[in-house]
């Protein structure tokens, strides 16, 4: 494959663009390879899918109902739709992926459920703002609040603590809301907190989690985990209608078995987090740059002068500035190497001296 270059003829460096630029890790790849031996029942009626569900129940140490879909947008929007009628509303952070990056899919699949946006520092919902939003009106003209949605780890690379999630759960209970957790980077949150997965999900009151595989090193696929099994009623039909029921399901589910059994899911997340932490530590030493949010998962948001960002781009570095709140977002993945972090730090140092 021909190497891609920028206008200055520099090879494009994609290492920190996004955690979905990375390939498939060996544990996920091997599991697909092993599942690729002959015939198996289709549409999830196979031994791998059954085992993957068992494995996820074991991980969360509870009974739960699990579905596998192709991507996070489907996982989130179908999960949200399963909890809402069209006249309901979903309260989420103003920078939540479900609001800013899913092209209206939650509204579409729920036939019009409205998103109610709340602010909050560091990408976490402010619970006073949540309470204000859901109590300021109770008349029939206001879309009835039904779900509180949080992202763990957040879009800004921060992580809700156990106590913060317990407070989210309490707020939801107080107002009879369901709790949805967008866990596209759930592994990074678990690795960051060093807790048992149950502590930041069902024990804190989460009803449904979308558990991300793709950014964790899978080829494709996310698991929708219903701790509140009543909410999973006819969810299989939702998946099918939305074009999210894989006929060769075993290739979506076999990797979950190996990733969880081998511990690779947590190792991958830890590697990504450690690289981000290293990047943050090193960049903090450079005069004139500002770390925008505490780096608690696998991203670092760095504010620097526009000309420094331009100089980095001229050197081939590819990164996003449109996600979150401006600045450059540098994202580490399971495949990020310490050397690559060092190379980026070196170029930021040079760019800041121009
Ligand atoms: C990546 C991501 C998703 C999933 O996005 P898809 O591209 O639909 O797989 C969901 N939520 C968050 C916070 C994400 O970063």
User: What is the model's pLDDT at position 83?
Assistant: 98
133 touches ligand 1 (CB under 6 Å) = no
Cα 133 to chain centroid, rounded: 25
Summarised one tens digit per residue, pLDDT across range 108-154 is: 999 999 999 999 999 999 999 999 999 999 999 999 999 999 999 99
329 touches ligand 1 (CB under 6 Å) = no
User: What is the model's pLDDT at position 316?
Assistant: 95
Which of these CATH numbers, 3.40.50.360, 3.40.50.720, 3.90.1150.10, 3.40.80.10, describes 4-16+264-351? 3.90.1150.10
Sheet with 290-291, strands from edge to edge, namely: 290-291, 299-303, 328-331
For ligand 1, atom 7, name the residue with the nearest CA.
72
Which of 70, 95, 97 to mutate to test ligand 1, by most ligand atoms within 8 A of the CB atom? 97
151 touches ligand 1 (CB under 6 Å) = yes
Q: CA end-to-end span of the chain, whole Å? A: 34
258 touches ligand 1 (CB under 6 Å) = no
Q: State in Å: Cα 40 to ligand 1 middle.
A: 30
Fold topology of 26-262: 3.40.640
Domain ranges of the chain: 4-16+264-351, 26-262
Q: How far, in Å, CA of 100 to CA of 94, rounded?
A: 8
Q: State in Å: Cα 183 to ligand 1 middle.
A: 9
Q: How far, in Å, CA of 153 to CA of 73, rounded?
A: 16
Does the global pTM surpass 0.95? yes
Q: State in Å: Cα 38 to ligand 1 middle.
A: 32
Closest CA to 329 of 110, 84, 21: 21
Q: Consecutive sets of 10 residues in the chain, 354 residues long: mean pLDDT of each? A: 88 92 98 97 98 98 98 98 98 97 98 98 98 96 98 98 98 98 98 98 98 98 98 98 98 98 98 98 96 97 94 95 78 98 97 91
152 touches ligand 1 (CB under 6 Å) = no
Q: State in Å: Cα 212 to ligand 1 middle.
A: 8
Summarised one tens digit per residue, pLDDT across range 156-203 is: 999 999 999 999 999 999 999 999 999 999 999 999 999 999 999 999
Classify burial at 213, counting beta carbons within 10 Å of its beta carbon; exposed 0-12, middle 13-18, buried 19 or more.
buried
97 touches ligand 1 (CB under 6 Å) = yes
């Amino acid at each position: 494959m021909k190497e891609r270059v920028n206008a200055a003829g520099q090879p494009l460096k994609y290492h920190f663009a996004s955690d979905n630029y990375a390939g498939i890790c060996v544990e996920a790849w091997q599991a697909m390879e092993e599942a690729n031996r002959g015939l198996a029942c289709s549409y999830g009626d196979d031994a791998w899918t059954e085992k993957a569900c068992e494995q996820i129940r074991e991980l969360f140490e509870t009974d739960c109902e699990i579905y596998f879909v192709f991507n996070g947008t489907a996982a989130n929007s179908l999960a949200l739709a399963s909890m809402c009628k069209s006249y309901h509303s979903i309260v989420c952070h103003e920078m939540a992926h479900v609001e800013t990056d899913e092209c209206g899919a939650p509204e579409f699949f729920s036939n019009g459920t409205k998103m109610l946006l709340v602010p909050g520092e560091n990408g976490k919902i402010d619970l006073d703002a949540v309470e204000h939003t859901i109590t300021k009106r109770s008349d029939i003209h206001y879309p009835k609040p039904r779900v509180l949605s949080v992202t763990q780890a957040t879009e800004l690379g921060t992580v809700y603590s156990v106590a913060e999630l317990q407070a989210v759960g309490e707020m939801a209970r107080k107002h009879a809301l369901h709790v949805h957790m967008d866990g596209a980077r759930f592994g990074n949150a678990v690795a960051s907190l060093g807790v048992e997965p149950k502590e930041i999900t069902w024990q804190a009151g989460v009803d449904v989690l979308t558990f991300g595989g793709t950014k964790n090193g899978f080829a494709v696929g996310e698991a929708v985990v219903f701790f509140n099994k009543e909410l999973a009623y006819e969810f299989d039909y939702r998946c099918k209608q939305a074009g999210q029921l894989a006929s060769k399901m075993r290739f979506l589910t076999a990797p979950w078995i190996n990733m969880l059994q081998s511990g690779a899911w947590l190792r991958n997340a830890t590697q990504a987090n450690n690289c981000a932490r290293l990047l943050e530590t090193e960049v903090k030493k450079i005069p004139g740059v500002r770390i925008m949010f505490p780096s608690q998962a696998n991203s670092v948001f760095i504010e620097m002068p526009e000309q420094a960002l331009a100089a980095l781009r001229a050197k081939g570095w590819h990164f996003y500035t449109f996600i979150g709140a401006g600045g450059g977002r540098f994202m580490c993945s399971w495949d990020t190497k310490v050397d690559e972090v060092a190379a980026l730090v070196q170029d930021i140092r040079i760019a800041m001296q121009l």
